[in-house]
């Protein structure tokens, strides 16, 4: 288990993974965009694409997350991601969080570290 983040949702295809994480040790952060992240991971290139969260819905049929890049509809078994730019549809299987690969966890840790470094640079500019 990573000490820097908790996996909230994990969806998978043979080519991509879609993950929601919650950063640990950010209990007092009021800006939730610094705590929760939705990430699209491209397996072939090992590239991380953060999704820009807009809104969410939850009802009896399932849940919906709207991002600048697309919309995810999901239930306990699967999800469907519709890309905003080309309307491409990706069918994802919902996976137990324990099945996430070590490589993906490492890539997420690297992504979070890069965000922290960017924040440090911005703070240094202010001083």
For 1-37, the pLDDT digits (tens) are 468 899 999 999 999 999 999 998 877 777 888 899 9
The structure tokens 């690969």 sit at 101
The separation between CA 41 and the C-alpha centre of its own chain, rounded to angstroms, equals 8
Q: Residue 36 pairs with which residues in a beta bridge?
A: 22
pLDDT in tens, 41-86: 999 999 999 999 999 999 888 999 999 999 999 999 999 999 998 8
Longest dimension (CA), the chain: 50
Whole-prediction pTM: 0.87
The conformation of residue 76, written as its DSSP 8-state character, comes to: S
Token readout for 86 is 């080309």
Q: Residue 50 pairs with which residues in a beta bridge?
A: 39
pLDDT at position 127: 61
pLDDT at position 125: 67
């Amino acid at each position: 288990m990573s000490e820097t983040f908790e996996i909230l949702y994990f969806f998978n295809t043979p080519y991509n993974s879609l993950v929601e994480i919650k950063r640990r040790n950010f209990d007092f952060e009021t800006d939730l965009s610094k705590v929760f992240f939705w990430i699209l991971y491209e397996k072939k290139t090992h590239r991380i694409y953060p999704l820009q969260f807009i809104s969410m819905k939850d009802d009896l049929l399932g849940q919906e997350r709207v991002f600048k890049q697309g919309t995810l509809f999901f239930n306990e078994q699967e999800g469907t991601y519709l890309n905003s730019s080309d309307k491409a549809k990706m069918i994802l299987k919902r996976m137990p969080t324990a099945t996430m690969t070590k490589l993906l966890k490492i890539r997420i840790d690297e992504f979070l570290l890069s965000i922290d470094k960017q924040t440090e640079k911005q703070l240094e500019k202010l001083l």
